[in-house]
Amino acid sequence: MGIEELNKICKNTFIDHIGIRFKQFDGTHMLAEIKITDHHLQPDGVVHGGVYISMAETIAGAASTLLVRDEGKIALGVSVNSHHLASVTEGVITAEGQLIYKATFKHVWDIRISDDKGKLISISRVTNSIKQNNFTKK
């Protein structure tokens, strides 16, 4: 599955709802972005930290899924550890995920989220459990 198909299957899901668009994947590196809208903001006008956490888990989960999908497996997020370093009020945020550990049962990703000027906004480490896909989409 490629990036175009990944974006297509995410239509009408939480991923689409928050505006994540996948841009690149090479097997160990995932790139995605969100254009900030009012729906991403807290009442004080800055992006809600949950957007960064959701983006980090989504990037890592999608990348792991691309690695194991052909084996009939699924990636399930089990741990997200995030540190927000700066605030954003508008523009585009970009997440870069790097695979740092890969085993048959677990993947660990480092995610760096930056604003459209390249300023580091949030860092996360995401752990995915790799399981047989016994789920069916309703």
CATH number at residue 77: 3.10.129.10
d(CA 92, CA 115): 6
d(CA 65, CA 94): 20
In a domain? residue 124: yes
d(CA 121, CA 125): 14
In a domain? residue 138: no
In a domain? residue 23: yes
pLDDT of residue 112: 98
Angle at 24 between CA 134 and CA 92, to 5 degrees: 105
Residues in the chain: 138
| Residue ranges in the chain modelled with pLDDT below 50 | none
Domain that holds residue 112: 3-132
Which residues fall within 8 angstroms of residue 134, CB to CB, at 6 or more apart? none
**How many structural domains does the chain have?**
1
pTM above 0.85, yes or no: yes
Give me the sign of the Cα torsion angle 34, 40, 116, 119: negative
pLDDT of residue 137: 61
